[in-house]
Each structure stands twice: as structure tokens, then as C-alpha cells.
Structure 1
Amino acid sequence: MKPARAHPLWFAFVLHRVSGLALALFLPVHFWVLSYALTQPEKLNRFLNFADQPFVKLAEFGLVFFLAVHIFGGLRLMAMEWLPWSAPQKTLAAGAVSIAFLISGTFFLQVV
């Protein structure tokens, strides 16, 4: 019998937790920067100029990837709780990461 950490769905579990943590850390910063639009537009303009740098675009790709992973991971968890699972369905659940990568990669290619 395989150890739990060698199971493909364990990776999905970890990725869902990491993506949730990344989004939880990002949201306060996002709202803080958005507040500049109302209070200090010149700071917002400086930040937007900074956001045009390639490494920021790469970070945006990561953020959209984590968002897509978290959404599909949440759907996977709801399906695990409410539906009976077969082996092919488990493979499809692991494939949700590929779909998340496709969505975030499409976003990345549009902003570069």
C-alpha cells in the first residue's frame, strides 16, 4: 500500500491549501492598492507603472493559476464529499490542475 503522501490526490490537497494561503495573503494587498485609486491616485499610477514589469506579469500568472487551482480544488472537495468516486473520476480530478494551468496560461499570454 502506498503512503498517503505518494497518492496523487494528496498533491491536490496540498496545492489547494497553498493556493488558499496565497490568495489570503494577496487579497489585503490588493485592497490596499485599490484604495490608492480613491485616496492617492499618484501612488496608484506609480504602482501601475511598476506592475508593467515582466516579473510582475509572471507573478500575475501565478496568482491566476492559484485562483484557478483553488476553484477547481474546491469543486473537487465538494464532489468528494457528495459523490461516489471511481478510479477514472479520481484521474479527472487530478486533471483539474491541468485545466487551471491552461486558464492561467491563457491569461498570462494575453497580458505579456
Structure 2
Amino acid sequence: MSDWRRRSHPAWIAFLVHRLSGLALALFLPVHFWALGQAIQGEAALEGFLRWSDNPVLKVAETVLVILLAAHLAGGLRVLALEFLGWRAQQKTMVAASAGVAFAAGLLFLLNLGA
């Protein structure tokens, strides 16, 4: 079996992260729409939701969500590069860059929470 088919290969792990982050984002959408619906129900409902969302656990969850979104975006860009540029020897570099972009976005979001 060649190296690129092993499940420990960075390209396969990037594939898995891209699929799982997409699934997690899809599962989050109903919660997001519910939260937006609180604004429609009135100021009191939205204010109650915003107070609830100040929970530190939810702040960590928001950061994880931003990392998942960035991972999905970076992974999608990596897939587009594969589609249009073909297989390259730098696949591991592209995977590492995708992961770096995702974690940098999460870190920037986390640092911006205090501002």
C-alpha cells in the first residue's frame, strides 16, 4: 500500500478533519438559527440569551466553533488546490498550513473576546 493511502497520512487526517468540521458546523446551524430567533421574540428574550451566553464554557465552545469554521475553510481551500493544481509533493505542507490557519483564527478570536 502506498504512503498516501494510510490513515495516518496527514492528507487523510486533513480529509477527516474537513468532513467532521463540516458535520459539526451543520449540527450547529439549528442552534444558531434558534439564537437569532431570540432577537425576533423581543428584547427581553435576546437579553436573557446574551446573559446565558456569557458563560465561560460557552466562550470556549465559541472558540472551538471558530476553529472548526477556519479548519473547514482551510481544508476546503486545500481541496480546491488539489482540484485545480493536481497532486503535489507539498501535500503535507498544505495540510500543516491549513491547520495553522485554523488555529491562528481561533487564537485571534480568543484574544478578541476580552476586547
CA distance in 1 between partners of 2:63 and 2:17 (Å): 16
TM-score by length of 2: 0.88
1:51 to 36, 50, 53: 53
Q: What SS does the aligned partner of 2:30 have? A: helix
Length-normalised TM-score, structure 1: 0.90
Are 1:78 and 2:83 an aligned pair? no
Instruction: Output the CA distance in 2 between the equivalents of 1:7 and 1:87.
Output: 13
Q: Which residue of 1 aligns with 2:8?
A: 6
- Aligned match for 1:38, one of 21, 31, 40: 40
SS of the equivalent of 2:86 reads coil
Count of aligned positions:
111
Q: Which of structures 1 and 2 has the larger relative contact order (alpha carbons within 8 angstroms, sep 6+)?
A: 1
TM superposition shift of 1:36: 1.1
Question: Does structure 1 retain, via aligned residues, the 8 Å contact 2:38–2:49?
Answer: no
The letter for the 2-side match of 1:85 is W
- Shift in Å at residue 92 of structure 1? 2.5
Per the alignment, residue 94 of structure 2 pairs with: 93
Which is worse superposed, 59-68 or 31-40?
31-40
Is 1:109 matched with 2:111? yes
Residue 5 of structure 1: SS of its match in structure 2? coil
Distance between the aligned counterparts of 1:16 and 1:86, measured in 2?
Answer: 19
Provide the aligned C-alpha RMSD in A: 1.4
- Between the aligned partners of 1:84 and 1:13, the Cα distance in structure 2 is 16
Identity of matched residues, %? 45
Q: CA deviation at 1:31?
A: 1.0
- 1:69 to 2:74 alignment: no
